Amino acid sequence: MTLLHLRRLAQSILLLLAGLGLAGAESANLDDAFALLEKKYGFMKPEENPQVARVLRVFDRVRDVADKRGNRMPRLFVVNQPDEPWAFALPDGNLLLSAGAVQLATRNLSQEAGDARIAFILGHELAHLAKNDFWDSDGHPLPAGLRPRRNATADAQAGLAGREAEADDLGFLYAAVAGYPVQTLFSSGQGVRENFFALWNDRLRAASSAASHPTPEARETAARARMDRLDEGMPLFRFAVRLAHFGSCELAIRLLRQYLRIFPSREVYNNLGACYLELAREEMGSPRGEGKSAFWLPVWFDGASRAEPLLAGWRSDRSGEGKQPLAPMLSDPPGRELELAVESLEQAAGMDEAYLPARLNLATAHHLRGDPLKARAAMEEAARLVPDNREVAGWLALFRHLDGQGEGVGNTLLAPLTRLAGRAGAPASLLFNHALALRKAGRNSRAAWTRLASGAALLPAPYAKTVCAQIRKSCAKPPSRKGVLPTPPWPLPIAPGADLDALQRDRILDGWRVTHLGGTHDRQQAVIHRQGAKSEILALDGYVTMVALRGISLGSAAALTGKLGTPRDSRRVAEGEVWHFSPRWAVLVRDGQVREAWVVHGLP
């Protein structure tokens, strides 16, 4: 912003104060503005007003996910002016919101819907901050005492309306990424009777500034278009998570990068970081329990996008074929996987102070980079979020021990790990890490390895191999007692590996939505087909590479293991587990139910 703009802004605020009858406003400067505004109305305090405390909590969440400009950390002040609804952003990073705006946004609504409106209003103003597009007397909703004193030209009005439309789009996105149900801003759904865009526009018209804003119909149309883009892009996220669980992180990274363009949320950054972690661990290897990657450390994928609840029941106006061309592959030099992992995971953690997966993964990334102090600090944060989680407590004890080694007190800090491992029902990861820590410290670890060997058949393959190598015993995992099926016990809409062209794709997939992704890292053409919420197909060069069943009743996890026996491998995700019954298929289990089934063929 130029000095001229700042001067005009200062003059506008001071005109506001003078118009409100504030003594001394004519001779005041911008530094005095807050004091004068507080003198007239006062700023509402969260400790004295539960509604203000609620608004500030919404602001914190939206601010955490919003774009920032420089080192400016936005702050919100709620002005005790209930008569008129308004909000605006100042160049120093402060946002002002009137009590009238809070009342307008929340009246006669559930807390969930009211919070979504507040999140959108604040997101809109944060978007102005991010773009250095500050309020001026011609274009922003104005409180009483500061009405436009001249008519803007048509070109100026169009420019202001364009900036307002961009702030709408970003504000809607910020609110959605922060986890608020932005679909309630529309005129239907979840018991919301009023169209918020029309309601807010009525307020603008009363303030004689509606001409500088898009019409409510245009604002709603743009927001619905954003929802349609979310709906079109949602399979990118889901297939990325599925591909990662089958070891195809290169393609998963391409899908996640594209989804970031649509919905840059904490879980997308987390999964991107987790994929880079997996690639780094593949490069490092851990033969016979050696090296930094030898410990059993968390790499958690999050299969639940915050966009998913927004799209429940959403009916897109789009039909037929769409395009979501994949972002180009970055030409990263070899060996940057850990650096990129940390970068992505720090972004995810910064977007939500209570987000566990990113902190667990960040601890692993710092450990692999050889920074035990940062690894310990990240795990300390994770442990504060889930103080009763025994597995996290075990990882924290391990990182304290490893950090203590650098300070010469590692053996002393091994005792807490030993105590945790000695308790009944200790998690397998805790037992494994304790045994390996004992061996690396030169202690007798035979009993710890033997204890693990008795259940080696239930351990993930890499850790079972290490256990058996340590006790010099063959304890390979036996096949499931029920046998292994090549495909899940549910009918598939099409066979994995099928040639869609040979099968007359238009006939077989009639009525399915199609999204063209373009070329993958190895120049294969990727296409996603989906049949409502029931089935999704990923095809590479016309061949079915993955089939996913979802949105239908797949039964309980207990019934599946009763039929097929113990899965050959299982892996924790943020909200459940992934069970692999063969190298070709797996299921997602959550709350005791099979939520999805995935079948692959010929993954790159």
Q: Which of 214-223, 382-391, 476-485 has the lowest mean pLDDT?
A: 476-485
Q: Does residue 587 register a pLDDT over 60? A: yes
pLDDT of 579 reads 93
428 and 514 together in one domain? no
Taking alpha carbons only, the member of 480, 374, 400, 466 closest to residue 429 is: 466
pLDDT digit string, tens, across residues 65-77 = 998 776 668 899 9
CA distance 469 to 288: 7
- CATH code of the domain containing 249: 1.25.40
Give yes or no: residues 451 and 330 share one domain: yes
Question: Are the CB atoms for 382 and 360 separated by under 8 Å?
Answer: yes
Q: pLDDT of 331-387, one tens digit each?
A: 455 678 999 999 999 999 999 999 999 999 999 999 999 999 999 999 999 999 999
Contact 320, 514 (CB under 8 A): yes
pLDDT of residue 521: 62
Q: Is residue 483 part of a domain?
A: no
Q: Quick one: which of 267, 105, 260 has its CA closest to 179? A: 267
Question: Could you tell me the pLDDT band of residue 319, with boundaries at 50, 70 and 90?
Answer: low
Q: Whole domain around residue 189: which residue ranges?
A: 41-214
Please give the Cα distance from 536 to 239 (Å, whole number).
9
Lowest mean pLDDT segment, chosen from 157-161, 255-259, 328-332, 580-584: 328-332
Based on the domain organization, do 68 and 191 belong to the same domain?
yes
- Residue 604 is given by DSSP the state -
Backbone angles phi, psi at 118, to 5 degrees: -60, -40
Give the pLDDT score at 157.
53
Domain boundary (443, 470, 497) is at: 470
Query: Among the listed ranges 422-431, 481-490, 512-521, 558-567, which one has the minimum average pLDDT value?
Result: 481-490
pLDDT in tens, 215-262: 888 888 899 999 998 988 899 999 999 999 999 999 999 899 989 999
Residue 356 lies in a domain: yes
Helix (H) or strand (E) holding 546: strand 543-550
Q: Assess whether 464 and 522 both reside in one domain.
A: no
Who wins on pLDDT, 204 or 435? 435
Query: Is 518 found in the same domain as 431?
Result: no
Considering the domain architecture, whether residues 453 and 513 belong to the same structural domain is answered as no
Please identify, among 144, 179, 214, the residue that sits at the C-terminal boundary of a domain: 214
For position 172, what pLDDT does the model report? 94
Longest CA span, the chain: 88
Confirm whether 495 is domain-assigned.
no
Question: Using 50, 70 and 90 to split pLDDT, how confident is the model at 93?
Answer: confident
Least confident range from 175-179, 333-337, 597-601: namely 333-337
Identify whether 177 is part of a domain: yes
Give me the count of residues in the chain: 604
Rank 149-163, 302-316, 573-587 by mean pLDDT and report only the highest. Answer: 573-587
For residues 428 and 569, membership in a common domain is answered with: no
Examine the domain organization and report whether 268 and 372 are in the same domain.
Answer: yes
Which residues lie closer than 8 Å to 597 by C-beta, 6 or more apart? 488, 490, 548, 549, 550, 554, 585, 586, 587, 588
Is 2 inside any structural domain?
A: no
Higher pLDDT, 143 or 40: 40
User: Is residue 505 predicted with pLDDT exceeding 50?
Assistant: yes
Tell me, yes or no, whether 199 lies in a domain: yes
Which pLDDT band holds residue 124 (cuts at 50, 70, 90)?
Answer: very high
Which residue intervals of 545-604 are DSSP H helices?
557-564
* Residue ending a domain, choose from 413, 443, 470: 470
Place of tokens 């919070």: 115
DSSP label at 492? -
Residues 144 and 276 in one domain: no
- 80, 351, 548, 251 alpha-carbon torsion, rounded to 10°: 140
348 forms bridges with which residues in the sheet? none
Q: How far apart are CA 282 and CA 429, in angstroms?
A: 19
Decide if 349 contacts 359 (C-beta within 8 A).
yes
Pairing of strands 543-550, 535-540: antiparallel
Average pLDDT, the chain: 82
Q: Which helix (H) or strand (E) holds 354?
A: none
295 in the same domain as 156:
no
Residues 261, 296, single domain; the answer is yes
Please tell me whether residues 65 and 191 are part of one structural domain: yes
Q: How far apart are CA 479 and CA 566, in angstroms?
A: 9
Full DSSP string of 107-173: TTS-HHHHHHHHHHHHHHHHHHHHTT----TTTS---TT---SSPPPHHHHHHHHHHHHHHHHHHHH
Report yes or no on 228 lying in a domain.
no
**Domain-embedded: residue 30:** no
Residues 6+ apart with CB under 8 A from 566: 457, 458, 480, 481
Q: Please count the structural domains in the chain.
A: 3
Burial class of residue 166, CB neighbours in 10 A (0-12, 13-18, 19+): middle
Percent of the chain predicted with pLDDT > 90: 45
